[in-house]
Amino acid sequence: MQALILAGGKGTRLRPLTMHTPKPIVPIANKPFLLYQLELLKRADVRDVILSLSYQPQKIEDKIGDGTDFNVRVSYAVEASPLGTAGAYRNAASLISETTVVFNGDVLTDIDMNEVIQFHRERQAAATIVLAPVENPTAYGLVETEKDGRVRRFLEKPSPEEVTCNTINAGIYILEPRVIDYVPEGEPFMFEYGVFPQLLERKEPFFAYIWKGYWRDIGIPSSYLQANLDVIAGRVKLLEPASSQRGEKFDATAEIHVPSAVDLSCTLKSGVQIINSVVSRNCYIEERARIENSVVRGGTRIGAGSIVEASVIGKGCHIGRAVEISGAVLGDKSVMTDYSSVGDGS
């Protein structure tokens, strides 16, 4: 069993957080996002992993290497230009020799892949797609299934009167090698609009596994923030967030409320409050600053008396004294002067 992680996107929806960091390695609770997907695969004993890359591939290779540090074997397939989800699969054809788990590079879930693999094998499927139920089906493309789990059809963003189910494509597939033959070589092609309709037309054994547990697309800033908060709250049963021990540069009066994850290299001055938040490496938090329900990326300095709420602060930012930030996303190296404020999703 092999795995292919589709990690080549530019992360446009997640900007400005992906301007200098490819989405697959943006940190979730201070660990590169890809490590959560690798952990999920390892639990199903899938350790032969192909990363399909396109945007800033060297940064990802530098972080993951050959996978030895993470107890997996990683190889790379780099696209000269974006080829779409199925095109990336075809581009990696020379590395694929057996049944393959395919992951979209922005899916955070703790699904039991052992169960999905067993489901796929028992049905002798050519392809299995994982589906997730959602509250508002009209905002997504839906996937209808038969009672035995066979995929019946795809509905692209139906009107309320057209809704017949609430299950959407969760971005996880198990594919037999022959599925590659349904993808043209060297041109952009999508699973959703190109491959899957062909499988239905050819009456291939194409099944759906419905997962009702944790699943999140981290592709937009609000969802990225929530993913961090979900991990530190223990809602994602994968990698444990950083321990709650105190670093050498944490003032004795600094308060770190559980759940939070604060890297031990940070400096926390007197009266600092960290509440349900993630603070990354080498941040400097000055006196009486409060960070709540937020993510602060590495190398950022937050001035005395400043308040950060429900926000994501990029790498290397400088936040002055008595600044108020609420519901905002700041890109890397942003600067906010003393006594300024930003909020309401700015």
Residues carrying an active site annotation: 157
User: Between the CA of residue 236 and those of 173, 224, 232, what are the distances in Å?
Assistant: 20, 14, 8
CA distances 274 to 34, 268, 284, 332, Å, are: 26, 9, 12, 21
